Amino acid sequence: LRMRHCRTLLYCRRAPPRCPACGGAWGAAGLPAAPVRLRCPFRHGHGQPRAFLLRPSRGTFLQDYDGSSDLHVGITNSKGVVYSYDQEGVHRAASGWEQCISIPLLQPGMWELQQHWDHLLEEFSQGEAWLPHRYDEQEHNCYTYALAFINHVLSSQGKEPLSKGQFTERFVLPETRRASRYLTLHHELTHRDFYMVPLPEEQ
């Protein structure tokens, strides 16, 4: 929860009876002091059809991620099966992606592409580029695979491809920044009841 009182933002899991910063009653501060529930940025990946997913290579974001561990990406089909690429080739996973950052890849109303998505993804994944021996941790990895599929779909629509930098900046960074802020709060509230952020003096 996020609450505001006496020029302080208070983050907590349960609303305390009084403001821990000043001891004042919440009601006196009016509507700004009302608790707002923050939306968790992590989704059950297998419930996110036709999406770009991002998760830690080991463990989960909330329990294990330290901010610098390796990340793994994948693409879901219409049923939530996650296609991803590593040194063993292309995997098709129906479990293991239960806590992810999810970026939808289709806009509502793209009916024709929705119908052909699974076929496009399966056909693309059988290409020689994604054989195990082609894998390279730096140059030809899970991100390469996912972005190549996205550009394959864009090409089929007559659209320009996205560079890694363009896709990352436009779609991935906004979500990872939000997730990073949420993880900071999660870790702070693991060890204390409140996390308080002073607000600047009002002009």
Query: In the chain, where are the structural domains located?
Result: 2-41+194-198, 45-162
Question: By C-alpha distance, which of 203, 201, 7, 189 is closest to 19?
Answer: 7
Q: Are 45 and 98 in contact (CB under 8 A)?
A: yes
pLDDT reported for residue 23: 87
pLDDT reported for residue 203: 40
d(CA 42, CA 50): 16
d(CA 124, CA 193): 49
Question: By C-alpha distance, which of 77, 78, 71 is closest to 142?
Answer: 71
CA dihedral sign of residues 92, 95, 96, 98? positive
Beta-bridge partners for 12: 194
pLDDT reported for residue 55: 96
Question: Residue 8: in which H helix or E strand, if any?
Answer: strand 8-12
d(CA 156, CA 85): 22
pTM of the model: 0.88
If the chain, 203 residues long, is cut into consecutive pieces of 10 residues, what is the mean pLDDT of each piece?
89 89 78 85 97 95 87 97 98 97 91 94 98 96 98 94 97 95 93 90 58
The two beta strands, 51-56 and 71-76, are antiparallel
pLDDT reported for residue 109: 82
